[in-house]
Amino acid sequence: MHSSREIAQLLDRLENSPASSLESQHLDFKQWNARSLDDMVKLVVEMAVCFANGGGGTVVFGVNNQALGRSDAILGVPAEVDAGRLKTNVYDRTDPKIVPDFEEINVPEGTGRILLMHVTGGAGLYTDSGGTAKIRIGTDCQPMTGSMREKLLVGRSETDPTAAVVPGAWTELVSPSAMEALRDLAAREKAPREMLQLSDEDLLSNLGCLRQGALNRAGLLLCGKAEAIHEAFTSYVWTYLKMESDTIYGDRRDGREALPIALRLFEDRISPDNPIRTLEIGLVHAEVRAYPTVALREVLLNAMCHADYRLASPILVKQFPSKIEISNPGRFIGGVTPQNILHHPPVARNPALVDALTKLRLVNRSNVGIGRVYESFLVDGKEPPTVAEAGEVIVVSLLKQEFSPEFRSLVAGEGKRGRILGVDELLVLQFLTRHAEIETVYAADLCQRPENAMRSTLSRMEGEYRYLERGGTGRGTYWTLHRDLRRRLLPESTAGGIARTDWEAAKTRVLSVLRQKARANEPGLRNSDLRALTRFDRNQVFRLMRELRDENQQLKLTGRGQGARHAWSDQ
């Protein structure tokens, strides 16, 4: 893409050369037809599709590309033409969605203004809403035939906007303060010392950001000057908001500086509300935060390296009194969804940027990053973050929660015995500290695992580890915390060995099973059946069924002793 400064310099050459001679693969000039706005909107959409398929570039509207001399060539764009509306039209009429960036240049000729449309080359094949596609080849926009479409789709699995080279001397593009911030950040994450001791040139070369003296856009995002980043990524911006309510904020900071500087600012703003607390757990003094440092940094870096820098939307951090929301522009790609993100193979939107961050040990390609985020919350007995896709934005929410010394003590004790609790086990245990029971199907959804694999995990947690107890049979099987573990994790909520939530859940489950048996004309439940169903002892079952009979006239007891049965009757 061409910056407004570069276009302004090219306009001076119109005195001696027509604009057509200045056109290239990534630059075109189009005259604005003031007589038909509809026709011009169609042309704008056509050019957006053409350039997106052709690797991106800039279209200058308001210039006759055949005329000679500025006064004859620069006719301008009417003042009533709204650039924001043009962007909306392009977005609405393209598939996948194209989000161009429009820029206005004031000129003394014609209407006094021309419009630049910057389009970033994207992934796959772009068409208008009617399925028509063109592609930029040289200085022409050519219709895409079937064979051309096939070649494009096969040859381009995903273009990388961060791999493109940035014009200019790299020494003039790099910010010393951003370079320092990058080294400090990498040092904190234990990047190889010998790498960090390299010169700036050798370090950038080692990261794959500098080749034959040319800096790529990944390097620019990592250590570039703000003005240089803005020229290459016109939509790039990051924003921090200290929210006092859902609609009111008390502190705001916006910037276009490099990613390490943005990360440092985010952490500095969040830190006052995220102090370290030292808690004594047995003989160990644990340091904990409301938002674990590893989780906060991982989510922030993920937002930065997976952002779609073509979209005019900020990398946004909103800090509320009770949570932090971190969002980045761009939808999930490569089959990743919020429902499979824990175990789906990693997919990089910006491979060159991810590769550099990986070498610095700031992110990884082994798909353990999101697992580390979950784990850092779960080991403290907290709920994991939530991940959602909201339109063209991905939002990760981190809740501010109380630390559980009992849960942390359990995890630490198991670790000393050589039993490291994985994310699946932690998710199930944490869920059961807040709920009476969990069914296999729900546990599979919670852990994003196939049902058969989840069933094996639950069985192991019951039989081998004695974390759980099983209730019910077949499809009605459910799981609860083992009574000994419940007393350990929830000492204040346990009375007589039964938590109140378990008591109410047991009532609901017993009534459900009895109604099912009545509809199937099967005999009711014996006391032994009830003990297996609820995991209660004899006295607890006796009290449970007495309360149920008092509450439900349809519940009947027949027989005596071991032959006694409880049954549901609609009569």
Angle (deg, nearest 10), helices 538-551 and 527-534: 100
DSSP for 27-49 reads EEEE---TT-HHHHHHHHHHHHH
pLDDT of residue 157: 39
For 508-527, the pLDDT digits (tens) are 889 988 988 888 888 899 98
Q: Phi, psi at residue 202, to the nearest 5°?
A: -70, -35
Statement: residue 437 has pLDDT above 90: no
Alpha-carbon span 540 to 319, nearest angstrom: 47
- 197 contacts 204 by C-beta, under 8 angstroms: no
pLDDT top residue among 333 and 51: 51
pLDDT at 494: 46
Give per-residue pLDDT as tens, 252-269: 999 999 999 999 999 999
Lowest-confidence range among 142-156, 189-203, 365-379, 400-414?
142-156
Token pair for 439: 């069914």
* The amino acid at 258: A
Task: Classify burial at 97, counting beta carbons within 10 Å of its beta carbon; exposed 0-12, middle 13-18, buried 19 or more.
Answer: middle
**DSSP readout, 168-187?**
S-HHHHB-HHHHHHHHHHHH
Let me know if 162 is exposed, middle or buried by CB neighbors in 10 A (0-12, 13-18, 19+): buried
pLDDT of residue 149: 67
Instruction: Tell me if residue 96 falls in helix, strand or coil.
Output: coil
Strands of the sheet with 56-61, listed across from one edge: 27-30, 56-61, 113-120, 101-106
Fold of 422-492: Arc Repressor Mutant, subunit A (1.10.10)
Under a CB-based contact definition with an 8 Å cutoff, are residues 235 and 313 in contact?
yes
The CA distance from 49 to 130, in Å, is 12
Question: Average per-residue pLDDT in the chain?
Answer: 88
User: Span 333-340, mean pLDDT?
Assistant: 86
Q: Return d(Cα 94, Cα 125) in angstroms, integer.
A: 11
**Architecture of the CATH domain 160-273+291-400:** 2-Layer Sandwich (3.30)
Write down the pLDDT at residue 120.
80
Q: Which pLDDT band, with edges at 50, 70 and 90, does 492 fall under?
A: low
| pLDDT band (50, 70, 90) for residue 473 | low
Give the closest residue to 29 by CA, choosing from 141, 149, 109, 126: 141
If residue 409 lies in a helix (H) or strand (E), which one and from where to where? helix 405-416
- Percent of the residues in the chain that have a pLDDT greater than 90, as a whole number: 53
The band of 125, judged by pLDDT with boundaries at 50, 70 and 90, is confident
Highest mean pLDDT among 50-59, 118-127, 282-291: 50-59
pLDDT score recorded for residue 353: 93
**Residue written as tokens 């009617």?**
130
Q: For position 283, what pLDDT does the model report?
A: 58
Tally of residues, the chain: 571
| Domain spanning 4-155: CATH superfamily | Schlafen, AAA domain (3.30.950.30)
Query: Can you tell me which residue has the tokens 């009757």?
Result: 569
Would you state the pLDDT for residue 500?
45
Which of 305, 306, 310 lies closest to 122 in space, CA to CA? 310
Q: What is the reported pLDDT for 547? A: 84
Average pLDDT over residues 93-113: 91
Cα–Cα–Cα angle for 487, 402, 269, rounded to 5 degrees: 160
Q: Show Cβ contacts of residue 6 under 8 Å, excluding neighbours closer than 6 positions.
A: none
Q: So what's the pLDDT on residue 226?
A: 96
**Which residues lie across from 53 on neighbouring strands?**
none
H/E stretch holding 494: strand 494-495
Q: Which band of pLDDT confidence, cut at 50, 70 and 90, is reported for residue 474?
A: low
Q: Is the dihedral of CA 108, 110, 111, 116 positive or negative?
A: negative
CA dihedral 92, 95, 97, 99 (to 10 degrees): -80
Please check the confidence at residue 362 and state whether its pLDDT lies above 80. yes
SS3 content of the chain, % helix, strand, coil (to 5): 45, 20, 35
pLDDT, mean of residues 52-67: 92
Report pLDDT for 53. 86
Longest dimension (CA), the chain: 110
Q: How far apart are CA 274 and CA 295, in angstroms?
A: 12
Confidence band for 495, pLDDT divided at 50, 70 and 90: very low
Q: Report d(CA 555, CA 368) in Å as an integer.
A: 52
The segment with the largest mean pLDDT, out of 11-20, 124-133, 280-289, is 11-20
Flag whether pLDDT at 378 surpasses 60. Answer: yes
Q: Residues with Cβ < 8 Å from 353, sequence gap 6 or more?
A: 162, 217, 218, 221, 222, 305
**From the CB of residue 380, how many other CB atoms can be counted at a distance below 10 Å?**
22
For residue 530, pLDDT over 60 is answered with yes
Going by C-alpha positions, the residue among 45, 236, 140 that lies closest to residue 61 is 45
pLDDT at site 348: 82
Select from 98, 207, 203 the least CA-distant residue to 163: 207
pLDDT digit string (tens) for 268-312?
A: 999 999 988 776 666 556 678 899 999 999 999 999 999 998 888
Residue-wise over 276-308: b if at least 16 C-beta within 10 A, else e?
eeeeeeeeeebebbbbbebbbbbbbbbbbbbbb
* The 3-state secondary structure of 259-296, one letter per residue: HHHHHHHHHHHHHHHCCCEEEEECCEEEEECCCCHHHH
Q: Take residue 76 and report the two structure tokens written for it.
A: 């301008």
Asked whether residue 329 carries a pLDDT value surpassing 60, the answer given is yes
Q: Of 296, 288, 285, give the one whose Cα is nearest residue 380.
A: 288
Give mean pLDDT, residues 208-215.
Answer: 91
